[in-house]
């Protein structure tokens, strides 16, 4: 193809002071529309001011439900849906280190799940024998 590889552009815009040249007639015709039917000016996109909660937790976190766990520090109004999130907040925002054993707690905050581990392992062995 001669026009693409050799940079030959035989189709020149006839509008005064334009002089742009194109390799294909169709491209010239499309270009001429910019002189006859200019596109309306585009609206500038406005950026929404991002709140701190959205910057930290992501958009929509503020409207999510079931954030029943309050920060334990007096005067702090942060609320959380998971105990883990509260512990991270305390460590990063209030500089209080995580408490020992928090990673081993059950989902309801106690160690009752760990007491039954031996029993669960025995049941698994009984099922394997069958």
Burial class (CB within 10 angstroms; exposed 0-12, middle 13-18, buried 19+) of 23 = middle
Strands (E), the chain: 11-12, 21-22, 69-70, 79-80
The predicted pLDDT at position 103 comes to 47
For all residues of the chain together, what is the average pLDDT? Answer: 74
What are the residues facing 80 on neighbouring strands?
A: 69
Architecture of domain 2-36 in CATH? 2-Layer Sandwich (3.30)
User: How confident is the model at residue 58, as a pLDDT?
Assistant: 65
* All residues at 6 or more sequence positions from 69 whose CB lies less than 8 Å from its CB, including other chains: 79, 80, 81, 82, 83, 85, 86
Position 4 pLDDT exceeds 70: no
CB-based contact 34:55 (threshold 8 Å):
no
Annotated domain spans of the chain:
2-36, 54-97
pLDDT single digits (tens) 37-71: 877 888 877 777 777 767 676 665 556 567 788 89
Q: How confident is the model at residue 51, as a pLDDT? A: 74
- Per-residue pLDDT tens digits for 112-129: 545 555 555 555 555 555
Q: Quick one: what percent of the chain has pLDDT higher than 70?
A: 63
Model pTM score: 0.30
Class of the CATH domain delimited by 54-97: alpha beta
């Amino acid at each position: 193809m001669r026009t693409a590889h050799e940079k030959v552009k035989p189709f020149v815009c006839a509008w005064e002071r334009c002089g742009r040249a194109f390799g294909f007639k169709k491209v010239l015709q499309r270009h001429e529309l910019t002189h006859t039917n200019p596109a309306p000016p585009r609206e500038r996109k406005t950026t929404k001011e991002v709140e701190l909660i959205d910057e930290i937790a992501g958009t929509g976190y503020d409207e999510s439900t079931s954030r029943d766990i309050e920060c334990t520090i007096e005067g702090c109004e942060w609320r959380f849906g998971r105990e883990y999130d509260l512990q991270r907040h305390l460590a990063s925002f209030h500089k209080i280190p995580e408490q020992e054993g928090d990673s081993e707690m059950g989902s309801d905050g106690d160690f009752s799940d760990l007491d039954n581990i031996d029993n669960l392992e025995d049941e698994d062995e009984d099922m394997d024998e069958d």
